[in-house]
Amino acid sequence: MEALSYLAMGFGTALQPFNLFYCFLGVFCGTLIGVLPGIGPVGAIALLLPITFHVPPVAAIIMFCGIMYGAQYGGSTTSILVNIPGEASSIITCLDGYQMARQGRAGPALGIAAFGSFIAGTASLLGLVFLAPALAIFSLRFGPPEYFSLIVFGLSTLIYLAEGSMVKSMMMALLGLMLASVGIDLVSAYPRFVYGILTLRDGLGLVPIVIGLFGVSEILVTLEKGIKRTIFETEIKGLLPTLQDWKESIFPILRSSIVGFFLGIIPGVSVAIPTFVAYTFQKKLSKQPEKFGTGVIEGVAAPEAANNAASCGTMVPLLSLGVPNGGASALVLGAMMLYGIVPGPLLIQQSPEVFWGVIGSLYIGNAMLLLLNLPLIGLWVRTLKIPYSILFTLIILFCLIGAYTVHNSLNDMFIMIIFGFVGYLLRKFEYPMAPLVMGLVLGPVMEEKFRTAMVMSHGSISIFFRNPITVVLLAVAMLVLISPLFTKKRLAEGIKEVEE
């Protein structure tokens, strides 16, 4: 009952006109980002971060969370109508969604994607209300050694689950940690990795780096590839699923909501993975698995419910432990730190309006998305026809403005441009960037906790082996990093089987 009273307080915070406006702005921008190629939720959050410095923190965090789960809605539109996933989490939706569109059932496909996401978001909200506070209470037993071990565990999981080579993922995480250490050491006041450049004495800003890595580099790669979009011309009608559609979809939606939420809680698990797992699980349970990939509505309902549930699930470790599980949530964590909010077990006590306001806004935002997506599908389709020359010019302009306005410094613009080309090269050679962002955001916290633990133990590393929590977290992290490669091969084989 206490949780419900706090939730009522959260709804009161989220329903304040100012917060309501930023919630709408977040879900609208998130949907737009999901529909359009190029920038993604990470780049969108980085671009909007500078303009929120004079906004109340709770409103800014509500907007950023709206972008995160709004992008999942937008990605389904392009998957169904264009056969191009707007987000990685919408890849699996292409298999049946586009086939439904070719059969003249684009309307029911888009409708079940919207309703399924709403139901999943509602179910995940209940899990978030009861699980996040309980986890926060448990994590009050965490000290510096435990937090250091938890961050190592989160980074290790992300390295293992990132796309491509695990060695490349580890290199990116280490690069992020190195970039985070640039500047003046807070303990010794000694400059590190500045090489006599005054600009680097204050450290490398999070915003210009991320804008360059995700905004500028994506544009360069897309322009090089010269991607052409062909929208399948069909009349979009019958957005409300029929009774038979609901009969076939309701249980896949409920099952996928559970799968997506609990997989989303695990640090390092990207939103794309629960969608593949939910689709595979539903295919195994189906009486006619051979029809998957030919345009069955369960093939749309399951992954769309899973990706929205996973987006809500990521809020559990972020709010209760202060550990993100991807690039977008890492940026939200960085934004909270910039606003003076300390995510973790004390967040509920020190900033209850932020914690419960964000949770309340998740439900309101999902309701807004349901109302937005169904009537505005025609608008999103027309948006897809914007020429790249106009779209990318505007994105570059916003990137430059976003980098400059953080400190009103041209140096930040130069840093953004440099990391834009760095990101372009990383993408060309298939280096994942989520571990880099995680290392960049968590690096200062990781260093602080490690050095505090060393002071507590008078320099003895044994402090990390005195507590069962640290021993378990570090042991699991080690097992993840040295686990046999055939486990990843089996996952890849499972994904290939789904696609076939």
Q: Model confidence over 428-450: pLDDT tens digits? A: 888 888 788 888 888 888 888 89
H/E stretch holding 256 = helix 243-265
Q: Is the pLDDT of residue 323 over 90?
A: no
Q: Is the pLDDT of residue 35 over 80?
A: no
Whether 115 contacts 73, CB under 8 Å: no
Residue 113: band (very low, low, confident or very high) from pLDDT cuts 50, 70, 90: confident
**Cα–Cα distance measured from residue 257 to residue 122, given in angstroms and rounded to the nearest whole number:** 9
Q: Give me the pLDDT at residue 498, please.
A: 43
Q: Kindly report the pTM of this predicted structure.
A: 0.77
Q: Is the pLDDT of residue 158 over 80?
A: no
Dihedral over Cα of 463, 467, 473, 478: its sign:
positive
**Cα–Cα distance measured from residue 353 to residue 31, given in angstroms and rounded to the nearest whole number:** 26
Q: Give me the pLDDT at residue 269, please.
A: 67
Q: Give me the pLDDT at residue 24, please.
A: 92
Q: Is the pLDDT of residue 295 over 90?
A: no
Q: Give me the pLDDT at residue 294, please.
A: 83
**Cα–Cα distance measured from residue 63 to residue 358, given in angstroms and rounded to the nearest whole number:** 9
Q: Which of 138-152, 254-268, 365-379, 470-484 is the least confident region? A: 365-379
Q: Comparing 352 with 91, which gets the higher pLDDT?
A: 352
Q: Give me the pLDDT at residue 422, please.
A: 93
Beta-ladder partners of 183: 192
Q: Give me the pLDDT at residue 131, please.
A: 82
Q: Give me the pLDDT at residue 270, please.
A: 65
Q: Give me the pLDDT at residue 38, please.
A: 56
Q: Give me the pLDDT at residue 175, please.
A: 93
**Of 480, 76, 67, the residue nearest 275 (C-alpha):** 76
Q: Which of 46-50, 130-134, 232-236, 393-397 is the least confident region? A: 232-236
Whether 300 contacts 90, CB under 8 Å: no
Q: Give me the pLDDT at residue 110, please.
A: 85
Q: Which of 3-12, 53-62, 177-186 is the least confident region? A: 3-12
Distance, CA of 267 to chain centre? 11
Residue 425: band (very low, low, confident or very high) from pLDDT cuts 50, 70, 90: very high
Q: Is the pLDDT of residue 490 over 60?
A: no
Structure tokens of 260?
């997506």
pLDDT digits (tens, 9 = 90+) for 361-402: 988 988 888 887 777 776 776 776 777 777 778 778 877 887
**Of 495, 484, 481, 415, the residue nearest 215 (C-alpha):** 415
Q: Is the pLDDT of residue 487 over 70?
A: no
The three-state secondary structure class of 143 is coil
Q: Is the pLDDT of residue 210 over 60?
A: yes
Structure tokens of 225?
């590839």
Q: Give me the pLDDT at residue 493, please.
A: 46
Q: Comparing 15 with 269, which gets the higher pLDDT?
A: 15
